[in-house]
Amino acid sequence: MDYATQMDAARKGIITNEMAAVAHKEHVEVSTLRDLVAAGKVVIPANKNHASLDPCGIGQGLKTKINVNLGVSNDCCDMEAELEKVRRAIELRADAIMDLSCYGKTAEFRRRLIDVSPAAVGTVPVYDAVNLFDKELEEISAEEFLAVVEQHAKDGVDFMTIHAGLNMEAAARFEKNKRLTNIVSRGGSLLYAWMKLNNRENPFYEYYDGLLDICRSYDVTLSLGDACRPGSLMDATDAAQVQELIVLGELTKAAWEKDVQVMIEGPGHMALNEILPNMLLEKKLCHGAPFYVLGPLVTDIAPGYDHITSAIGGAIAAAAGADFLCYVTPAEHLRLPTLDDMKEGIIASRIAAHAADIAKGIPGARMWDDAMSTARRNLDWERMFELAIDPEKARLYRVESQPEEKDTCTMCGKMCAVKNMNKIINGIII
């Protein structure tokens, strides 16, 4: 192989197999895609050791992608149940799967996930470090944190969330500007605690060059985590969040100097009117790197319905420039999601992503809607089910409530406007 990473290949004018596959799926010219990868505006997470990968592109001019979080925890440690979620997530067309396991046989679960997943696989190595080493958090060394990163890379992880932007300066900014919900990022809170306990710089910031060397060796895409993402509307777009974003922009340029692909993680909770400014701010400060958002959740009052609050924010964010949506399920803030919760979250995120793609004019996005509208005009129920984002649910609703006139539904029956207009236009008297 005469290139180190997808970015390195693109800068050398090489079109990789992964670029060709992505260009075909996205209906874009492969040379255009290659130039976007070279510029850091598109990433193709594709670890050299992920043999089962069907590569996808994330970034400018491409369809908005969605990510699914899963994994085992101390309270819910059924590995087979989580692997069933993996299989279901792939069936539901998730573009990426993040393994957030923090308990038990994390390495076994991660390797099994990578073996079966054609979707890109992401992890948060700091979780695994806390689980892996039989010692207190403050006793884990910087070298041990990096060793976990390298093990994940060897296993075939395509992208990793690393909270390298929470340096001492960003931590001081957080401390000077009090928040309602403090630091809600799990990884960010662990690193903040480690820094305070040891009175030392964030190891991923201090040894960032070593981290980049690992990423370059395996072509791991660096997902620069937002440790200071807002966990409430009150904390959105505050000094800590913006300070960290400035640091992430600097770290992005340093990664690109080593041909390491980068995407930026973003908020979080924020009011509707703050979403567009945040998207513009990220793209400006982080030099057009792809933006990966959790939500944003546009209100704090809907536990049990946060897949909806997230989908609202995600559609607006993606239409304004976000490239990658992390799904949120109805179980957010409440429990580990079930299979049904996961499905609800995936469908909500896919709807948000598709709605944004229509607004952005992504090639082919609108054709899906036009085909559905044609099927509705024709009262072609089978075609409607085929085109539905969730065919299973659409069919179930139809079966549960059968109309007297089979080509209508039980909402309107003989008064069906579509059926009657078809008759009138075709010269048939009602």
CB 312, CB 349: distance < 8 Å: no
Residue 56 is labelled as binding a ligand? no
Residue 227 is labelled as binding a ligand? yes
Residue 326 is labelled as binding a ligand? no
Residue 127 is labelled as binding a ligand? yes
Residue 228 is labelled as binding a ligand? yes
Ordered per-residue pLDDT tens for the chain, 430 residues: 699 999 999 999 999 999 999 999 999 999 999 999 999 999 999 999 999 999 999 999 999 999 999 988 777 678 899 999 999 999 999 999 999 998 888 999 999 999 999 999 999 999 999 888 988 999 999 999 999 999 999 999 999 999 999 999 999 999 999 999 999 999 999 999 999 999 999 999 999 999 999 999 999 999 999 999 999 999 999 999 999 999 999 999 999 999 999 999 999 999 999 999 999 999 999 999 999 999 999 999 999 999 999 999 999 999 999 999 999 999 999 999 999 999 999 999 999 999 999 999 999 999 999 999 999 999 999 999 999 999 999 999 999 999 988 899 999 999 999 999 999 999 887 6
Residue 209 is labelled as binding a ligand? no
Residue 69 is labelled as binding a ligand? yes
Residue 186 is labelled as binding a ligand? yes
CATH number attached to the domain at 48-360: 3.20.20.540
Task: Specify the 3-state DSSP secondary structure of 414.
Answer: helix
65 - beta bridge partners? 324
Residue 307 is labelled as binding a ligand? no
Q: Domain segments of the chain: what residues?
A: 48-360, 365-425
For 283, how many CA atoms within 13 A lie in the half-sphere containing its CB?
17
Residue 24 is labelled as binding a ligand? no
Residue 76 is labelled as binding a ligand? no
Residue 306 is labelled as binding a ligand? no
* Phi, psi of 123, deg, nearest 5: -145, 170
* The dihedral sign for the CA sequence 96, 99, 105, 107: positive
Distance CA 168, CA 206 (A): 10
Residue 286 is labelled as binding a ligand? no
CB 261, CB 292: distance < 8 Å: no
Residue 397 is labelled as binding a ligand? no
Residue 409 is labelled as binding a ligand? yes
Distance CA 425, CA 429 (A): 10
Residue 163 is labelled as binding a ligand? yes
249: number of Cβ within 10 Å: 19
